[in-house]
Amino acid sequence: MHTHPTPLSRLLAGGGGDATRVAFGRSGERTRRDLARDVAALASAITAVGAGRWLLFSADSYATAVGLLALASCRSLAVLPPNRRPETLRRLAEGAVGALVDGDAATVAGLPALAPLQQRAALPAAPPCLDREAPLVEFWTSGTTGEGRPIRKALRHLEDEVAVLEACLGAGLGRDARIFATASHQHIYGLLFRVLWPLALGRAFQAETLLHTQELLPRMRESEAAALVTTPVHLRRLAAGDDLRELRGICRAVFSSGGPLDPETARAVAEQLGAAPIEILGSTETGGIALRRRDLDGDVWHPLPGVEIARREADGRLEVTSPFVSVGDDAGGGRARSVLGDRVDLVPGGGFLLLGRADRVVKVGEKRLSLPEMERVLASHPGVAEVALLVLEPAGERRVHAVVAASPAGQALLERGGRRALRSALTQHLAASFDPVLLPRAWRFVGALPRDAQDKVPHASLCALFGDRAPMRPTAPKLIDERRGAEEFVRQLEVPADLAQLEGHFEAVPLVAGVVQLGWVLAAAAEWLGHEPELSGLEALKFPEPLRPGRRVTLELRRSADGQQLRFRLHGERSVYATGRAILAAGRTGAA
């Protein structure tokens, strides 16, 4: 039975709220009454600092909802940074009034900082309706084809899309489904599917992002009904084993967006759960465009209601007209038109097929090359798990460059014959289909493609692997996610395949030295405490298993009851890489 969502503009119009559950997680359950109280308290604190443009970055989805609604009620704009790196925050802080972030930070990038869930104020009697036309969110694109850029959305863009999502997909979920997610709410897909859509329908959502199978699946099994909002990369890992089978009858839907889902993963999910994932095609600029389920639709995408699609005759690119488009030409009636970089073929019945990116058809040596087509051929080789191609111009000559994440078969070839052997095998594989001048001239073999929090492969990260024939190598792990509390600090990290500290440790089987891991621990401790930790010693220091490049790891810090010790643990899903205790010098134990 179809249920009409509460318009996002009226979520605060119910006064004190009720006991309907909004979110759940490690800190307990949150109700609409809690939401109304927390939004009012934060709005009061924001007003005291000043309305305007505010950074909003929280690892907690409930805190993000509070921050977004509080800013909307103050007629302020929420800027959602794609990551929490200092250089990103400094860039986005230009022209901002303040920052809403987790923890006890007094300032962020020079801005006054407020913690969304640590404000206290009297609850107003009747919060007003929010302005549908007012700008609400400024997203930052991931920069998959170059530098990221800001994209603003009014409340109406998100409110209208939520209504369409419920009309299309809500009946299959029911009101009682709990929403779990691995997709970041700092991206439009994650914000809509794991926060705003559940809020409008009264479906409770998990406040934390549970990235590891051993943590996510048991929580979902505890639910009578659930849905998962995820990305192709995470879904591929979940479907690789047989663990999803335990959720059959519990998990009513799996949503996937951020890139194409390969048919093998879709089949594996369908076999274990009884239905393939629902894939969502869209962009930050256009919002949602189309849906498909591979077990029902094959490769065909079907536009969302209210979305009109067309194929431009000039170049075959997809043209989208809808009420969700925020960057494009005005089409009247609250709709706008945008042309994407994706080439399409229209099919009978109103659907379409994706043919690859038009902006990735390049000229090399006076010959045209579709980079997606070459990527497809490379990916068909048994030695390749993932591949990304780009064109660079070393010494002024345009040449194809390849970044390859090796499969187990490819890794075995690397161990037997080194990079030259795998490079030769892949070059021969391509030579059967492509002119010699088009073949990649430079290769990088990595544990995994560099990805941001939205599971995109940023163009800048690929370029950095090459530099001027010598890669600009990162000196720190990639931050995936972070959670801060009074007694606990947790980071999700990814070890770059080209980490600078791998030099000399060792060419055949590279590993991260223990002293490097310890440096990551102390750097995290400094951010948590607010100052460089002064140590009187290290105890029980162990490195049980070698840490390899390309691994995703969890760094945990816990403070002892007396505040004199920091216990740390660096681990993966099945491996522990470092453990120990840092003994803090007297007088330097508190957070700044």
CATH (domain of 387) = 3.30.300.30
User: CA triplet 539, 541, 547: central angle to 5 degrees?
Assistant: 160
Average pLDDT, the chain: 87
Which of 31-45, 84-98, 297-311 comes out lowest in average pLDDT? Answer: 84-98
Q: In the prediction, which pLDDT does 405 show?
A: 92
Please state the rounded mean pLDDT for residues 458-466. 84
Rounded to 5 degrees, φ, ψ at 32 are -60, -30
Same structural domain, 402 and 516: no
| pLDDT tops 70 at residue 379 | yes
Q: In the prediction, which pLDDT does 450 show?
A: 85
Residue 440 CA to residue 529 CA, distance in Å, equals 47
The answer as to whether 186 is a domain residue is no
Q: Which of these three, 464, 499, 529, is where a domain ends?
A: 464
Per residue in 138-197, pLDDT tens? 998 754 444 568 999 999 999 999 999 999 999 999 999 999 999 989 999 999 999 999
| pLDDT tops 80 at residue 48 | yes
CB-CB contact of 253 with 283 (8 Å)? no
Q: What percent of the chain has pLDDT over 70?
A: 91
Same structural domain, 222 and 352: yes
Per the structure, the count of domains in the chain is 4
Per residue in 111-141, pLDDT tens? 999 999 998 866 554 457 899 999 999 998 7
The answer as to whether 309 is a domain residue is yes
Q: In the prediction, which pLDDT does 592 show?
A: 32
Q: How does residue 536 score in pLDDT terms, banded at 50, 70 and 90?
A: confident
The answer as to whether 140 is a domain residue is yes
The answer as to whether 131 is a domain residue is yes
HSE at residue 475, side-chain half, CA atoms within 13 A, is 2
For residues 500 and 320, the model is more confident at: 320
Q: In the prediction, which pLDDT does 127 show?
A: 58
Same structural domain, 496 and 542: yes
Q: Which of these three, 439, 464, 489, is where a domain ends?
A: 464
Q: In the prediction, which pLDDT does 144 show?
A: 47
Same structural domain, 28 and 60: yes
Residue 488 CA to residue 566 CA, distance in Å, equals 10
The answer as to whether 184 is a domain residue is no
Helix (H/G/I), strand (E/B), else coil: 471: coil
Same structural domain, 12 and 155: yes
Same structural domain, 77 and 166: yes
CB-CB contact of 192 with 10 (8 Å)? no
Q: In the prediction, which pLDDT does 66 show?
A: 96
The answer as to whether 223 is a domain residue is yes
Q: How does residue 393 score in pLDDT terms, banded at 50, 70 and 90?
A: confident
Same structural domain, 157 and 35: yes
Same structural domain, 104 and 224: no
| pLDDT tops 70 at residue 16 | no
CB-CB contact of 295 with 301 (8 Å)? no
| pLDDT tops 60 at residue 591 | no
Same structural domain, 453 and 345: no
Q: How does residue 277 score in pLDDT terms, banded at 50, 70 and 90?
A: very high
Q: How does residue 472 score in pLDDT terms, banded at 50, 70 and 90?
A: very low
Residue 401 CA to residue 463 CA, distance in Å, equals 9
Q: In the prediction, which pLDDT does 507 show?
A: 52
Same structural domain, 219 and 343: yes
CATH number at residue 134: 3.40.50.12780
Which residue range is the domain that position 134 belongs to?
1-171
User: In what side-by-side order are the strands of the sheet with 576-584?
Assistant: 478-484, 488-494, 552-559, 565-571, 576-584, 535-542
Same structural domain, 25 and 164: yes
Cα Rg, the chain, nearest whole Å: 24
The answer as to whether 193 is a domain residue is no
Per residue in 415-433, pLDDT tens? 898 889 999 999 999 998 8
Q: In the prediction, which pLDDT does 204 show?
A: 97
Six token digits for residue 353: 């097929």
Same structural domain, 216 and 113: no
Q: Which of these three, 400, 434, 464, is where a domain ends?
A: 464
The answer as to whether 423 is a domain residue is yes
The DSSP secondary structure of 215-251, one letter per residue, reads HHHHHHHTSSSEEEEE-HHHHHHHHHSSGGGGGTTTE
Q: How does residue 228 score in pLDDT terms, banded at 50, 70 and 90?
A: very high
CATH number at residue 531: 3.10.129.10
Residue 274 CA to residue 233 CA, distance in Å, equals 20
For residues 329 and 233, the model is more confident at: 329
Tell the burial category of 432 from Cβ atoms under 10 Å away from its Cβ (0-12, 13-18, 19+).
exposed
Q: In the prediction, which pLDDT does 471 show?
A: 40
